[in-house]
Amino acid sequence: MKRGKRVGVLIILLSMFFMLNSIQTASAALDWLDISINHAFYYDLDDDLSEDDILIDLTFEVRDGIKSPSTSDYIITLTLPSGFQYILILTIIGKYRIFEMTMLWYDTATETGWYNVRVDAFGYYGYSTGYSMADYDFDPPTGSGGGEPYLEILVW
């Protein structure tokens, strides 16, 4: 084989080695976060005499051995029994190990049946991206509040 072909084959093999190595590194960090949906239930949070509001408590904790992300994105989806969804996209810029949040979803528990809260979390650090997910089902009663749905977030 000519010298040019050998060098070309060597470059292709080295490129494949580095690509496979980076794929393994990225997949090792996939499950980077423990997500706890501590509580999800319905209440009358806005004092309109209708239990059509939902309170959700969440805790996010970066796993041991994973460095804290510099930026993280959370997609929090509240799915009603009909399939209608309320979606919150939250971006956090800054490093943390534990992050706790309470969400107050006003005038959203308006249907009978099972509700679902799903959290998709993406962490970015260096050239790696981590992904974690959790979900939780609960069954509030029929609500009939008169207000438009809105969300309040408490963070500490």
Instruction: State pLDDT tens for residues 96-152.
Output: 999 999 999 999 988 889 999 999 999 997 788 899 999 999 986 655 556 667 777
pLDDT above 60: residue 27? no
Please provide residue 20's backbone torsions phi and psi, each rounded to the nearest 5 degrees: -65, -40
Could you tell me if 123 and 129 are in contact, meaning their C-beta atoms sit under 8 angstroms apart?
yes
Residue 42 has pLDDT above 50, yes or no: yes
Q: What mean pLDDT is reported for the chain?
A: 82
Strand pairing of 85-93 and 98-106?
unpaired
pLDDT above 70 covers a percentage of the chain that reads 74
Determine the Cα–Cα distance for residues 28 and 128; give it in Å rounded to an integer.
9
- Average pLDDT over every residue of 58-81: 94
Cα distance between residue 154 and residue 135, in whole Å: 20
Spatial CB neighbours of 131, under 8 Å, sequence gap ≥ 6: 30, 31, 32, 120, 121, 122, 123
- Is this structure's pTM higher than 0.85? no
* Backbone torsion region of residue 57, taken as left when φ is above 0, otherwise alpha when ψ lies between -120 and 50, otherwise beta: beta
